Amino acid sequence: MKYLVSLLFVFTISMLRAQNVQSPSGKIAVDFKLTTNGQPIYSVKYKDKAVVKESALGIKLKEKPALDANFEIAGSKSTTFNELWKPVLGEQANIVNHYNELIVSLIQKETHVKMNIIFRAFDEGVAFRYDFPKQADLNYFIISDEVTQFNLTDNNKVFWIPGDFDSNEYEYNETKFSEIDNSKINMNNGIGVKTIPGKYTVQTPLMMKSPSGLYLNIFEAAVVNYPVMHLNVDVNNFKLTAQLVPNAIGDKAYLQTPCVSPWRTIMVSDDARDIVSSKMILNLNEPSKIDDTSWIKPMKYVGIWWEMHVGKSTWDYAGSQNATNFGTKLEASGRHGATTENTKRYIDFAAKNGFDGVLVEGWDVGWEDWSGNWKEDVFDFTTPYPDFDIAAISAYAKSKNVKMIMHHETSGSVANYERHLDRAFDLMKKYDYPAVKTGYVGKIIPRGEFHDGQTMVNHFNFVARRAADYKLMVNSHESSHPTGYGRTYPNYVAAEAARGTEFNAWSIGNPPMHETILPFTRLLGGPMDYTPGIFEIKMSYYDKNKTEQVHTTLAKQLALYVTMYSPIQMAADLLENYEKYPDAFQFIKDVAVDWDDSKYLQAEPGDYLTIARKAKGKESWFLGAITDENARKTEIKLDFLSKGKKYKAIIYEDAKDADWKKNPMAYKIKTMIVTNKSKIRLNLAPGGGTAISFELIN
């Protein structure tokens, strides 16, 4: 009997401790165990050094016992997975998905509820999720909280924005972990709807750098039928705890078994390039559910958009531009941007310069009265203003071989949008619009829901799925942050979901470091429609009393077409501004938007980024290099170019006296012949950049 008790003791201890999975290279290891009270905990090491100390796992349920303790291990399973898959559109033609997986099966002693925790270890990080199998003891359930913790080891440098339930359109703060504090943020930042639950909450992706030089990123993947995860911050103990965005009555998620949570991800490396180039988030999503993807195509476009932001024209027909004129009689103001004549001008420009599409905002009735209120019925997404002849415009675009991009501003009234969605998509198909840009400005209706809650996550994903039925592409703005769902529905080609270019036109704008952070954060989840390409940098050009400006040089605006990946890229400035600078505009005309390969040459979050990309199906390369507010000199090896071939390098760079604030539009262009053995010196002005096109010489 004594021998049997000893065996049982050894077996119990081993089941508590013997759970481990390593990345394929062995650099990253995840340890899992149960504490003496049956609480699941995990830890992460990189090259045998702790990066996440023992941290709690678990789920709290509404009106049911919490699933965060009293577990025992019912079994475990380890597997290895390795595949090469081809994205429909992307930064590279092939993506490697290689990981080792550990599934730990748990059962709660008193309730008999089963819960699995699935760990995957990649060479650039780890991921885990909660899996609830079909079972008699758990069917319908409501999540009230997620216990998930990330206990860090150091007072890291952190790039963060507040954990706002309704907006991710903030500029990034660069501070020590211990200095995170939402009360110190300047809230006069141009964001219309803000819902920040406290001083110490931040959003993911959360990019960090440890004092020893390790780069860490905490994020999530495959957010489906679940709210977005923000993080509560314990600034004194360097601890992060999951904060799920609630619905209107405070619940977090309504689920039914079998189901899974999103993946919680931790990327770690001593090389920042491993983070910014990672495809781990995409790899954690399901493969494409669209069999025929031939209709999903990249687009470079111009549009009636920036002219409204700079005050040249208006979205509304009446010309008020304040969106609060209820009952205003529809009389032509002469200031409306979305006219038939103006749209044809953009179509002509697109056709002349080789652009694929034209976006038109403000084409449909309703813009006179919708902003900031709980007004549900505003847009019907099918009725154009009297001066926008949708049939004539469609026919004209077709004659010029240009595609039109539809715009659907919902004014936050998602229930109204869903009621009209099929009719709106029918209209798009009738007039041959292949893509729609959706917008969600304002408070969300149904009332009390947040942009990042389960209801809205389901809505954003539903629109992509329904659009796929119509063979339409979606580019969402003011949405929750993408988490790789574009792999599953590749017609979800892009999103905004961060502070974009337009904030430079009428607010404090985006600081010079902004674009050096976004690729380490927001873009990890999917392409961003950042709308670069502004040539008239200072808004005083339009109004001498305005002091706002874009916080980059003109050359950096060109480089953003390479560093800010999107398969649907806008040349955002006014047409006449491009016509004034045809030599610089040539790069925007030439640069690709879909790629066979991408090389991340230099990277440091908040400071600089240099990327080279090879155009899809061509022997053409493009390079973008950007910096923050500091000037930078560097040398780039061109060993990414094909061996034995010569290229003409056309270099668009800052002039010697260029400066984002003092002299932002000073640039120069030079050419040289190069090979893969060549080197190029880059001289980046404060807030500046360099863009290079490499043309093969036959």
Q: What is the DSSP letter of 484?
A: S
Cβ-based burial of 333 (10 A; exposed 0-12, middle 13-18, buried ≥19): middle
Q: Are the beta carbons of 191 and 508 closer than 8 angstroms?
A: no
Question: In the 3-class helix/strand/coil scheme, how is 525-546 assigned residue by residue?
Answer: HCCECCCCCCCCCEHHHCCCCC
Q: What angle do CA 598, 601, 602 make, to 5 degrees?
A: 135
Q: Residue type at 457?
A: V
Q: For residue 109, which phi and psi values (nearest 5 degrees)?
A: -60, -50
Residue tagged 């401790």 (tokens): 17
Q: Cα separations (Å) of 15 from 53, 75, 109, 163?
A: 20, 9, 15, 37
The residues near 544 (Cβ < 8 Å, ≥ 6 apart) are: none
- Cα-Cα-Cα-Cα torsion 336, 341, 345, 348, nearest 10 degrees, comes to 150
DSSP per residue, 425-456: HHHHHHTT--EEEEE--SS-BTTT--TTSHHH
CA gap 121, 104 in Å, rounded: 14
Check residue 245 and give left, alpha or beta (phi > 0: left; psi -120 to 50: alpha): beta
Within 13 Å, how many C-alpha atoms sit on residue 626's CB side? 31
Cβ-based burial of 371 (10 A; exposed 0-12, middle 13-18, buried ≥19): middle
* CA 678 to chain CA centroid, nearest Å: 34
Extract the tokens encoding 466.
């329904």
Task: List the 253-256 sheet strands across, edge first.
Answer: 59-61, 140-146, 253-256
User: What's the helix, strand, coil split of the chain in %, to 5?
Assistant: 20, 35, 45
- The residue among 235, 169, 226, 171 whose CA lies nearest residue 198 is 235
Q: Residue type at 672?
A: M
Q: What is the DSSP letter of 367?
A: T
CA gap 209, 517 in Å, rounded: 12
Residue 376 annotated among the catalytic residues of the structure: no
Residue in 502, 515, 536, 653 annotated catalytic:
502
Whether the link from the prior residue into 446 is cis, omega within 30° of 0, is yes
Within 13 Å, how many C-alpha atoms sit on residue 194's CB side? 15
Q: Are the beta carbons of 591 and 693 closer than 8 angstroms?
A: yes
- The residue among 59, 395, 428, 477 whose CA lies nearest residue 227 is 59
Q: Cα separations (Å) of 303 from 150, 169, 211, 363, 411?
A: 43, 22, 45, 12, 20
Which residues are known catalytic residues? 502
